[in-house]
Amino acid sequence: MNKRYLLEVMEREIARAVRQQSLLSVTMLDIDHFKSINDTYGHLIGDEVLKQFGGRVANVSRCDDLLARYGGEEFCLLMAGTDLAEACEIAERCRQVVANTPFQTEVGPLDISASFGVACLDPVRAISTLDFLQLADQKLYDAKSAGRNCVCS
């Protein structure tokens, strides 16, 4: 899924969460030092890493969560009916499945890690899709500042 599809779904899910006073969480995921992978090994290897990354995260996410590529090496995971604690647990599972096993590529195994920023919607007040994403993006920035390869909420 791409950014355009993500934004369309998020707009509907935010409206639903506010209307039904239900939970909604979003996680921004970013592969650590991805530029150096492309610069060192080339974009074809970078593409291999992106495909494996998306597959690993999708495999440990729930079937009704939406994983979409947001841009570059950044992904977004939208989780309906999920509070902050559960969203952080899911993000940690994703972090571990990325960091604990090297990625198999044409140039050999590569150790990859990722940083995660998690935000939970306050269903009492409406918020725009972009503002909601900005909350998660700020937490992602906190994870990068904290040394990468971690989850911040």
Instruction: Give the pLDDT band of residue 3 (cuts 50, 70, 90).
Output: very high
CB 124 within 8 A of CB 21: yes
Compute the distance between CA of residue 71 and CA of residue 126 in angstroms, rounded to an integer.
25
C-alpha triplet 68, 72, 78: angle, nearest 5°: 20
Q: At 139, which amino acid appears?
A: K
- Residue 126 confidence (pLDDT): 77
Neighbours of 31 (CB within 10 A): 22
Determine the average pLDDT of the residues in 43-51.
Answer: 96
Partner residues linked to 109 by β-bridges: 104
Q: At 25, which amino acid appears?
A: S
At residue 26, does pLDDT exceed 80? yes
Compute the distance between CA of residue 95 and CA of residue 150 in angstroms, rounded to an integer.
7
Q: State yes or no: is 73 an active-site residue.
A: yes
Structure token digits, residue 132: 């909601």
In the set 73, 74, 86, 89, the catalytic residue is 73
Instruction: Give the pLDDT band of residue 1 (cuts 50, 70, 90).
Output: confident
Instruction: Give the pLDDT band of residue 52 (cuts 50, 70, 90).
Output: very high
- Residue 124 confidence (pLDDT): 84
Instruction: Give the pLDDT band of residue 104 (cuts 50, 70, 90).
Output: very high
Per domain, the residue ranges of the chain are: 3-152
Write the CATH number of the domain with boundaries 3-152: 3.30.70.270
Q: How high is the mean pLDDT of the chain?
A: 95
Nearest to 57 by CA among 83, 86, 96, 2: 96
Instruction: Give the pLDDT band of residue 21 (cuts 50, 70, 90).
Output: very high
> CA torsion angle for 95, 118, 23, 85 (degrees, to 10)?
60
* Cα distances (Å, whole numbers) of residue 12 to 50, 117, 125: 27, 22, 15
C-alpha triplet 5, 104, 29: angle, nearest 5°: 35
Determine the average pLDDT of the residues in 124-128.
Answer: 85
Determine the average pLDDT of the residues in 62-88.
Answer: 95
At residue 92, does pLDDT exceed 90? yes
